[in-house]
């Protein structure tokens, strides 16, 4: 069995881009063992990261990602500090590096960080001995979301290679989409991005030449194994790129009528939180094809896998 | 390709004979009255447990529940390992409650694996009792743990390594002694 010889080579998880298909497979395989832990009838905790200190450093609000990380950390028996940017010295003007150096002097083993600036994680990784996990950086990457999406798809279809996946909606403002594009293309899935022209930023095919771009959801749906609906990020100004929510919904909403165009076993994913009635109707989001809650469930074992593989010593180091 | 290990402590035929004997000892100890279940420690302990379960089912004419345990997450030297191994799932598809468990490992050495295995098992439930079966007890214990059933008991110097090979994984059955590198 070749996987016995493989050692996870990374010290940080800054994004999906630096990972090899082998690394991605290792993370997903590792998550299977943690899914078993999470499904146990009684004790859902293992001592794997006992005495390790993990700091959750969130400069942007994120209830669900942060909760998911925190549950993952607790299930691995890690010690946890939650560092809330609102109540910290940052509001008193401290720089990110100063904050990092202060944290570093308390010797954490790992830092889970969400920050609006795409370079913030790499900056921290250069200044600290601790492992850094990117829990979302602006519109750049959100690697654990892509991993849990991939885990959900692989569990449902048994493979990622050759899988036809449409990613629909607010491509411009989504960080989920970039991580998913890296992951799905590395793993050999066939990705189609569907959005109004205003929400499809230029240059996507320079980075991911194998992908298909479309403005026509109805034409795309019939051939897809999975449809990943993105949240319209109105708080990031998506409203300025579309004529109105009703008009957007008329062409890009996944609703019962459009489900009729899909394969009967199509998988519907959404990273949440959902704008019900905008990008997806409640009927579809709560319907039999929806894997939305499974995505949330799978987030915990996937994050446990990330924390576990980063917290333990490494094979040959890759930055 | 298997290494060229030497010397051979048990060949395939002898290993089979010893497994048969282990099986008879387990039957003699528990008869048909206990609700017996086997749990193999991944990887080679599981292969041995699968074979023992097959033999026991033939003798006792009843289903013997079989579980697989990966103890990596419970190791006390996890932070000293030379890399992050990919942990495979523990699979115990039956309730431990009320069962007499026989924990199966290939080689009993320091006892630390068994300590970890018992911690892992108890997180899954509360069996009536846990017994330990090992194909080889090579001595060198660091914890007060002993096997209840064993095929071969040896005192092997610490610089030697006893390895059990099984055809499901290694393509060959046998017990070998190698010099540690």
Average pLDDT of the residues of chain B? 91
Domain assignment present for residue A119? The answer is: yes
Residue of A11, A30, A301 to mutate when probing chain B, most B C-beta within 10 A: A30
Percentage of residues of chain A with pLDDT beyond 70: 94
Distance from CA of B11 to the nearest CA of A (A): 23
Q: How far apart are CA A298 and CA A229, in angstroms?
A: 18
- List the CATH number of the domain containing A186: 3.40.50.1370
Contact call for A3 and B86, based on CB within 8 A: yes
Over residues A152-157, the mean pLDDT reads 98
* Residue A314 confidence (pLDDT) above 70: no
List chain B residues with CB under 8 Å of A313: 79-84
> Does one domain contain both A199 and A307?
no
* Residue A270 confidence (pLDDT) above 70: yes
Q: What is the pLDDT of residue A279?
A: 95
Q: Is the peptide bond before B7 cis (omega within 30 degrees of 0)?
A: yes
Q: What is the pLDDT of residue A2?
A: 41
Domain B8-27+34-72+96-179 = CATH 3.90.190.10? no
Over residues A154-180, the mean pLDDT reads 95
> Does one domain contain both A16 and A105?
yes
Over residues B75-107, the pLDDT tens digits come to 888 777 666 678 888 999 999 999 999 999 999
Domain assignment present for residue A317? The answer is: no
Over residues A302-313, the mean pLDDT reads 90
* Residue A88 confidence (pLDDT) above 70: no
Domain assignment present for residue A319? The answer is: no
> Does one domain contain both A262 and A179?
yes
Can you tell me the ipTM of this complex? 0.81
Q: What is the pLDDT of residue B130?
A: 96
Contact call for A48 and B79, based on CB within 8 A: no
Over residues A102-128, the mean pLDDT reads 90
Over residues B112-129, the mean pLDDT reads 94
Over residues A38-67, the mean pLDDT reads 91
List chain B residues with CB under 8 Å of A45: 123
Over residues A125-137, the pLDDT tens digits come to 988 899 999 999 9
> Does one domain contain both A59 and A124?
yes
User: Please, what is the end-to-end C-alpha distance for chain A in angstroms?
Assistant: 27
Q: Which candidate, B2, B26, B39, places its Cα nearest to that of B174?
A: B2
Check: CB of residue B128 under 8 Å from CB of residue B98.
yes
pTM: 0.90
> Does one domain contain both A149 and A70?
no
Active site residues of A: 64-65, 92, 114, 142
Q: What domain count does chain A have? A: 2
> Does one domain contain both A158 and A129?
no
Over residues A130-151, the mean pLDDT reads 94
Range of the domain at A245: 143-296
Over residues B28-65, the pLDDT tens digits come to 998 777 799 999 999 999 999 999 999 999 999 999 99
Characterize B147-162 residue by residue with b for buried, 16 or more Cβ atoms within 10 angstroms of its Cβ, and e for exposed.
bebbbbebebeeeebb
Q: What is the pLDDT of residue B82?
A: 62
Contact call for B85 and A4, based on CB within 8 A: yes
Q: How far apart are CA A48 and CA B79, in angstroms?
A: 9
> Does one domain contain both A246 and A304?
no
> Does one domain contain both A150 and A286?
yes
* Residue B176 confidence (pLDDT) above 60: yes
Over residues A228-269, the pLDDT tens digits come to 999 998 887 788 888 888 899 999 999 999 999 999 999 999
Average pLDDT of the residues of chain A? 91
Over residues B121-141, the mean pLDDT reads 95
Check: CB of residue A213 under 8 Å from CB of residue A204.
yes
Q: What is the pLDDT of residue A318?
A: 43
Rounded to the nearest 10°, the torsion over CA A143, A28, A133, A234 is: 30
Percentage of residues of chain B with pLDDT beyond 70: 94
Q: Is A8 on the interface with B (CB under 8 A)?
A: yes
Nearest to A313 among B81, B86, B87 (CB): B81
Q: What is the pLDDT of residue A6?
A: 81
Nearest to A7 among B73, B84, B90 (CB): B84
Q: What is the pLDDT of residue B164?
A: 96
Contact call for A36 and B91, based on CB within 8 A: yes
Q: What is the pLDDT of residue B31?
A: 76
Which own/partner contact pairs does A207-216 have at CB distance under 8 Å and 24+ positions apart?
A207/A181, A208/A181, A208/A182, A210/A185, A211/A181, A211/A185
> Does one domain contain both A35 and A6?
yes
């Amino acid at each position: 069995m070749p996987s016995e010889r493989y050692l996870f080579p990374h010290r940080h998880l800054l994004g999906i881009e630096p990972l090899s298909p082998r690394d991605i497979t290792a993370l997903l395989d590792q998550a299977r063992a943690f899914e078993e832990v999470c499904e146990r009838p009684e004790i859902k905790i293992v001592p794997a990261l006992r005495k390790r200190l993990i700091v959750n450093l969130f400069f942007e609000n994120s209830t669900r990602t942060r909760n998911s990380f925190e549950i993952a950390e607790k299930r691995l028996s890690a010690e946890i500090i939650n560092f809330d940017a609102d109540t910290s010295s940052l509001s008193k003007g401290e720089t990110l590096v100063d904050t990092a150096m202060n944290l570093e002097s308390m010797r954490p083993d790992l830092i889970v960080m969400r920050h609006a600036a795409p370079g913030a994680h790499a900056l921290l990784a250069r200044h600290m001995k601790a492992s850094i996990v990117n829990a979302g950086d602006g519109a750049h990457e959100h690697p654990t979301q892509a991993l849990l999406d991939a885990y959900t798809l692989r569990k449902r279809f048994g493979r990622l290679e050759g899988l036809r996946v449409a990613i629909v909606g607010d491509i411009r403002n989504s960080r989920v989409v970039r991580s998913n594009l890296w992951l799905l293309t590395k793993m050999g899935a066939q990705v189609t991005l569907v959005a109004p022209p205003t929400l499809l930023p230029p240059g996507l095919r320079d980075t991911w030449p194998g992908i298909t771009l479309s403005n026509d959801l109805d034409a795309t749906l019939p051939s897809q194994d999975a449809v990943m609906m993105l949240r319209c990020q109105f708080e990031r100004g998506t409203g300025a790129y579309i004529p109105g929510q009703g008009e957007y919904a008329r062409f890009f909403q996944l609703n019962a009528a459009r489900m009729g165009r899909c394969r009967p076993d199509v998988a519907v994913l959404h990273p949440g939180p959902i704008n019900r009635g905008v990008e997806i109707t409640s009927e579809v989001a709560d319907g039999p094809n929806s894997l939305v809650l499974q995505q949330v469930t799978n987030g915990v074992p996937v994050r446990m896998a990330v924390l576990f593989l980063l917290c333990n010593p490494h094979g040959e180091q890759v930055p | 390709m298997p290494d060229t290990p030497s010397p051979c402590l048990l060949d395939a035929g002898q290993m089979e004979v010893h497994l048969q004997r282990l099986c008879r000892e387990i039957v003699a100890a528990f008869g048909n009255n206990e609700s017996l279940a086997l749990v193999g420690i991944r990887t080679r302990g599981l292969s041995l447990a699968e074979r023992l379960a097959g033999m026991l089912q033939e003798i006792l004419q009843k289903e013997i529940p079989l579980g697989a345990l990966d103890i990596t997450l419970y190791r006390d030297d996890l932070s000293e390992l030379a890399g992050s191994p990919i942990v495979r799932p523990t699979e115990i598809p039956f309730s431990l409650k009320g069962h007499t468990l026989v924990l199966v490992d290939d080689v009993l050495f320091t006892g630390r694996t068994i300590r970890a295995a018992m911690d892992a098992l108890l997180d899954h439930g509360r069996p009536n009792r846990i017994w330990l079966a090992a194909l080889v007890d090579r001595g060198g214990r660091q914890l007060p743990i002993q096997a209840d059933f064993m095929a071969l008991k040896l005192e092997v110097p610490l610089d030697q390594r006893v390895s059990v090979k099984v055809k499901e994984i290694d393509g060959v059955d046998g017990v070998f002694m190698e010099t540690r590198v």
